[in-house]
Amino acid sequence: MVKYYLDTCVWIAYFNKHEKQHAEAAELFRKIIETPGMQIIISRRHTHEMANKNFLDKFNRLKNLLYKRGKCRGVQTTEFDRQIALYHNQYFRLGYGDCLHLQVAKKGKALPISYDNDWHEIGSRIQIRVYLPEELL
């Protein structure tokens, strides 16, 4: 099973047809849905960020569809995950949310995917390869 952990910006690019990366994000979702052995990992952090960006309803509808097809799995964050993210946040002076996403991806043994340069910077500092969506198409 190949697991993917998608940054919120990838989900939003899919939901918002006016985003310049919409077609690419849509192709990535199509590939994951249609290819056996691929799954998306999500966390409560996704739900929090989607609510803040006013995409929670769309996120929940797609998430529920993906769950029904066995293409999505939730992973719980622990106090340990939060402490590791906080350490990286303070040590590297990069966003706590981004650090937590990458910790959860690492714990879930998922490939992190993002357009966000901060994810790529944090990943390089903690030896986690972060992919651009186009690299997986």
Provide the residue range defining the domain that includes 95: 2-136
Write down the H helix ranges in the chain.
8-15, 22-34, 44-52, 56-68, 79-92, 96-107, 117-125
| Two structure tokens written together for 94 | 């990069």
Q: What is the CATH number of the domain that holds 25?
A: 3.40.50.1010
> CA dist 50 to 29, 84, 125, 128, 133, Å?
17, 23, 26, 24, 19
Contact 113, 136 (CB under 8 A): yes
pTM equals 0.93
What is the full per-residue pLDDT of the chain (137 aa) written as tens digits? 999 999 999 999 999 999 899 999 999 999 999 999 999 999 999 999 999 999 999 999 999 999 999 999 999 999 999 999 999 999 989 899 999 999 999 999 999 999 999 999 889 988 899 999 999 99
Query: What is d(CA 137, CA 132) in angstroms, rounded to the nearest whole number?
Result: 10
Number of independent structural domains in the chain = 1
